[in-house]
Structure 1
Amino acid sequence: NRDVKAAKAFFRKALQTQGRPPVSITLDGYAASHRAVRELPEQSSCWKVTRLRASRSSIARR
C-alpha cells in the first residue's frame, strides 16, 4: 500500500533527523500511520521503546 510506504518513510526520516527514537508518538485517525507504526518495530528494534497515543481530537470528531 502506497500510503503505508509513505508513512514508514516519514517515520524513518524522523528517526534519522532526531538521532534517537521518540519517547512517544501521537497518532490521528489515519489508518496508514497506525499500520506503519505497528510494523516499524519489526524492522528496527529502536522503535520498541516508543509509546503510542491516539489523538483525542480525532476520536472526539467521530
Structure 2
Amino acid sequence: MNIIKKGGVVRAKKPIILLKRNGISISYAAGTKFKVEKIMNSNILKVKPLGEDVFGTLRVENLEVIR
C-alpha cells in the first residue's frame, strides 16, 4: 500500500476531466501525472497537472501513487 502525501506525484488510471473556475473543462488521458496540492479528506485530493496552472479535485480510487 502506497501512502499519498502532499507534494507527491500520482498518475491517472483512466481519463480525467478537470473543471476550471470559469467553467472551462480540460480532459487528460490515462497515465497523466498530477502533483498533490492538498488532501481534502480520505477520498478526495486537490491536484495540479505537472507543468500546468489548472487545479481540480479527484477521487483517490482513480489514481495510483508514483512517488
Q: Is the shorter-chain TM-score for this pair beyond 0.5, marking a shared fold? A: no
The structure with more radius of gyration: 1
Give the TM-score normalised by the residue count of structure 1.
0.30
Give the TM-score normalised by the residue count of structure 2.
0.29
Structure 1 or 2: more helix by fraction: 1
